[in-house]
Amino acid sequence: MDRKKLIKIFFCGLFIFAMQLIDAQNIKQDSLKSITTIGIFDGKKIMVGNFETEEVYKINEYCIFPASISEQLADSLKGKKILVTGKLKIVEGKTMPVKTSTDSRIYEPYNEPDKKFIIDPLFTIVYDTREPLIKRK
């Protein structure tokens, strides 16, 4: 092989390796942190988002994708106090552009709130086994 061709192949390989290394560093920086929450699971799917709506289950301020929980499990957890652990993924809310005004009104851009998702959730039913503080006779 020609020496120039070998040098080109070497630098192309080095470039591809560097791009994979940079991509791997982005994954580490954007890695999802662990989250735990306890609340009553109502088992109802709701729509969240104003611009890009998604159907999710909700517990406290966190959303759970329906694909992450089967219908049977959702039905069995309905109305119960559960502990949910998983990875937190925050999806930034979209911003609606400012309306133009012809009547000298000032319109502010609308900022959709961020959505917090629990990825790879694990569900545990929490039983309250504490003795009552005052015993009845």
Q: What is the pLDDT of residues 79-88, one digit of tens each?
A: 999 999 999 9
Q: What is the 3-state secondary structure (H, E, C) of 62-80?
A: EEECHHHCCHHHHHHHCCE
* Predicted TM-score (pTM) above 0.85: no
Burial (0-12, 13-18, 19+ Cβ within 10 Å), 108: exposed
Rounded Cα distance between 73 and 69, Å, is 6
Q: What is the pLDDT of residues 72-125, one digit of tens each?
A: 999 999 999 999 999 998 888 777 766 666 676 766 777 778 888 999 999 998
* Structural domain spans, the chain: 1-31, 32-137
Q: Is 34 helix (H, G, I), strand (E, B) or coil?
A: strand
Q: CATH code for 32-137?
A: 2.40.50
**Residue 130 half-sphere exposure, CB side, CA atoms within 13 Å?**
5
Rounded Cα distance between 119 and 82, Å, is 16
Of residues 77, 42, 59, the one with CA closest to residue 116: 59
Q: Which residue has the tokens 């390989």?
A: 13
- Joined together, the tokens standing for residue 29 give 């920086």
CB 49 within 8 A of CB 115: yes
